[in-house]
Amino acid sequence: MFLFFKKSCVYLAAMFSSVVLLAGLSSMALAEKKDEKKKESQAAAGATLASVKKAGFLKCGVSQGLPGFSSTDAKNNWTGLDVDFCRAVAAAVFNDPTKVKFTPTSAKERFTALQSGEVDLLSRNTTWTASRDTALGFDFAGVTYYDGQGFLVPKKMKITSAKQLEGATVCVQTGTTTELNLADYFKSNNMKYKHVAFETNDEVIKAYEAGRCDAFTTDRSGLYSTRTKMKKPNDHMVLGDVISKEPLGPVVRHGDNQWGDIARWTVYVLVEAEELGVTQGNVDAQKKSTKNPVVRRLLGLDGELGNKLGLDNSWSYQVLKHVGNYAEVFERNLGMSTNLKIERGLNALWSAGGLMYAMPIR
């Protein structure tokens, strides 16, 4: 019995090692092959565009519900500034703004969703920071909304400035630059505070409304937007203080420069069109009759910009036809005609005292 055992042990050991060797070699060969394939796809710009075209729709990461930026309306349609940017890119690629699949992501999940390829484009009020641009492996395509962090407080607290928040408890969402700015602000002003961090914005609002916190902090646009969701919006006010710079914009994966260019120049087309007075309403007429060389280049009548991006030459016309220019997108989602009533402020054109400035399209 023992002898048999010993004998079979030797056999087994030999067999085991040979199988392991074989498996190891074959998996290495397989991996190498895959590696080559991967390198090809990574190096060749256009992998994302090709996969988007092949799928027939754009996978766009948006927020889980921030009125004015990305939220669903009563009929379950996505609306908002970030949503319209997704539609603009879809219009550029497909000449059809409906070819978008929206993926709602939490602040925490959003980067993993983009890194893993679950979405092609992240348009989710995401702040452009150096570490996100570098360490996370992303490229920011531009700024669609210049924001800053502020505080929402109940009116009955009779506070007028954030400097009076010494010792306050502040509610905040985890996984945001907000959390870091909050710490920086109180530290630089030598004030003490307590904070409670929740995973989703909805939990933050519920806790704030229940009086768990004295103040709620996030980007000011988010505060205005969140306030409309509250039971008694008029009991709360946004303090005047702006404690950080929050340039929000669309994000793509680092490495596919063509896709990055498409997103970047879509932003500029929206802004440039506003500057040139090209609107959703007059874009057809302009296309037919304009003699202005700048407008002709914007609409792709002259030059080969669209082709160089790997798109149809009329891509920018498609964007404006289906989505409109930046001013129209802003007014539709955030402006005076909406519940949010946000003024253009920093988001006005550079020529009107804001920061919106498109690089020359030529």
Give contact residues for another protein (rule: CB under 8 A): 8, 11-12, 15-16, 19-20, 23, 27, 31, 34-35, 38-39, 42, 107-108, 111-112, 115, 131-132, 134-137, 165-169, 174-176, 179-180, 182-184, 187, 193-200, 203, 206-207, 210-212, 214, 253-255
C-alpha to C-alpha distances, 48 to 59, 102, 141, 319, 330, nearest whole angstrom: 11, 17, 15, 19, 28
Shortest Å distance, C-beta 14 to another protein: 12
Q: DSSP labels for 205-239?
A: HHHHHTTS-SEEEEEHHHHHHHHHHSSSGGGEEE-
Distance CA 85, CA 150 (A): 25
Shortest Å distance, C-beta 296 to another protein: 38
Q: Of 166 and 284, which CB lies nearer to another protein in the complex structure? A: 166
Shortest Å distance, C-beta 136 to another protein: 4
Distance CA 151, CA 141 (A): 28
Q: Of 245 and 321, which CB lies nearer to another protein in the complex structure? A: 245
Q: Of 139 and 274, which CB lies nearer to another protein in the complex structure? A: 139
Q: Of 19 and 336, which CB lies nearer to another protein in the complex structure? A: 19
Q: Which helix (H) or strand (E) holds 62?
A: strand 58-62
Shortest Å distance, C-beta 108 to another protein: 5
Helix (H, G, I), strand (E, B) or coil at 103: strand
Shortest Å distance, C-beta 208 to another protein: 10
Q: Quick one: DSSP state of residue 358?
A: P
Which residues neighbour 174 within 8 Å (Cβ) at sequence distance 6 or greater? 107, 108, 197, 198, 199
Q: Of 96 and 184, which CB lies nearer to another protein in the complex structure? A: 184
Helix (H, G, I), strand (E, B) or coil at 291: coil
